[in-house]
Amino acid sequence: MIEDEQMNDSVIVIEDLVKYFDGRCVLDGINLKVPRGCIYGLLGRNGSGKTTIIRILLGLEPPTRGRTFLLDADSTELSAELHGRIGYVAEGHNLIQNYRVGRLIKLCKDLSLQWNDEFFNHLIETFRLPTDRKVKELSIGMRAQLNLALAMAIDPELLIFDDPTLGLDTVARRQFLELAIDLIQQQGRTILFCSHILGDVERIADRIGILAAGKLVVDCPLEELKERVKKLRIIFPESAPPNLYLTEIINQQNQAREMVITVANWNKQKQTALEIFKPSSCIEIPMSLEDMFIECTKPNPEYIES
């Protein structure tokens, strides 16, 4: 019953999503649920399929197999009204390049269900965006800011950011994050956030997904990820054994008596299994999100789902 309620309260649902491009598998059976009010950080290396997931979710790209739902509606049948409740900042900032900024703003305003003029004008002033210039004459950072302001102005229920801080300088990035945090404080708003800048994700996301080799290898709350993924330096009295027979080893490196392993879901059972090999010492190496990301995106990581 509780599970059903949680399912119904998921703003984003992805079921067994598979996508092939020219015979190459980009997404291989992705399953994901993002609950209402969650700030979900989707991470992955270049070409791992983050943008493809977002494009499929928004109905811009057809899936090869599987289904995706946004705000309880199938992505392939999203109505105009539903699109009006979703703010989207695209990677590379998909804006009509030959339009003047003012004209693009007017077009977006005319095509929106609701438009928060006060907030939008505040953003335009904060970002100092010139409305009389053509979009193609703006810098990448300014385009990102314009795209962000347009996405925010519609007062969206769901915000999808595909690498929104790409091309922004440090000050603009900080402004963006502060703005995102402001939005987060407004109840019921859900954010799907893809970024290469892990510090940004770590700062605002409360749940993390990591894509590697077409699979979602991590899907859990950020704090839980930090608790569950452990990097251990183990010293053995003699040479390190080639295999510890532990499950969910993300990465393992052996060098003479020393073994460095990154393991998911570290628990007492695994601790006991390790002690069978009678190690001389076992020290935990602290890991940042970046370290975890690097470990998880190495070839053949196992799932770390909650």
Partner 1 sequence: MYALIKREIQDHIAYFIGAAVFSVVFIIISFSLISRYDSRNPPVFLIGLGVPAATIVIFGICAMGATQMYLDRTRKISALLSTLAVSRNRILLARIITGILTILILLVPLTIAAGILVRIFTPPVPMFTGMVFEISITVYLMAFACYCIGLQTGWNSNPLTPSLGALFLTCIFIPLILIKGFGVHIVVILVLFIVASLLRTWHTFMKTSL
Contact criterion met (CB below 8 Å) for 18 and 64: yes
**Cβ proximity to partner 1, 103 vs 233, nearer residue:** 103
Q: Within positions 146 to 205, which residues make up the interface with partner 1, using CB under 8 A?
A: 154
User: Residue 235 has which token pair?
Assistant: 């010293």
User: Residue 136 has which token pair?
Assistant: 């193609």
**Cβ proximity to partner 1, 37 vs 92, nearer residue:** 92
**Cβ proximity to partner 1, 78 vs 296, nearer residue:** 78
Amino acid type, 208: I
Closest CA to 69 of 6, 12, 3, 16: 12
- Using CA atoms, how far residue 34 sits from 79, 220, 230, in Å, is 20, 10, 25
At its nearest, how many Å lie between partner 1 and the CB of residue 38?
21
Number of amino acids touching partner 1 (CB under 8 A)? 27
Of these, 7, 47, 62, 247, which contacts partner 1 (CB under 8 A)? 62
**Cβ proximity to partner 1, 95 vs 211, nearer residue:** 95
**Cβ proximity to partner 1, 161 vs 236, nearer residue:** 161
φ/ψ of residue 271, rounded to 5: -60, -45
**Cβ proximity to partner 1, 5 vs 110, nearer residue:** 110
User: Residue 38 has which token pair?
Assistant: 């969650």
At its nearest, how many Å lie between partner 1 and the CB of residue 81?
6
Maximum Cα interatomic distance, the chain, rounded to a whole number of Å = 73
Q: Within positions 75 to 134, which residues make up the interface with partner 1, using CB under 8 A?
A: 78-81, 83-84, 86, 88, 90, 94-98, 107-108, 110-113
**Cβ proximity to partner 1, 52 vs 297, nearer residue:** 52
At its nearest, how many Å lie between partner 1 and the CB of residue 112?
6
- State the DSSP string of 271-294: HHHHHTT--SEEEEEP--HHHHHH
- State the DSSP string of 125-144: HHHT--SSSBGGGS-HHHHH
User: Residue 123 has which token pair?
Assistant: 């953003």
Closest CA to 161 of 177, 175, 174: 177
11 belongs to the binding site for partner 1 (CB under 8 A): no
Q: Report the length, in residues, of the chain.
A: 306
Region near partner 1 per CB under 8 A, out of 54-62, 67-75, 250-258, 278-286: 54-62
Closest CA to 182 of 140, 119, 127: 119
Region near partner 1 per CB under 8 A, out of 10-18, 38-46, 60-68, 219-227: 60-68
At its nearest, how many Å lie between partner 1 and the CB of residue 87?
9
Of these, 59, 66, 130, 221, which contacts partner 1 (CB under 8 A)? 59
66 belongs to the binding site for partner 1 (CB under 8 A): no
Binding residues (CB under 8 A) for partner 1: these are 55, 58-62, 78-81, 83-84, 86, 88, 90, 94-98, 107-108, 110-113, 154
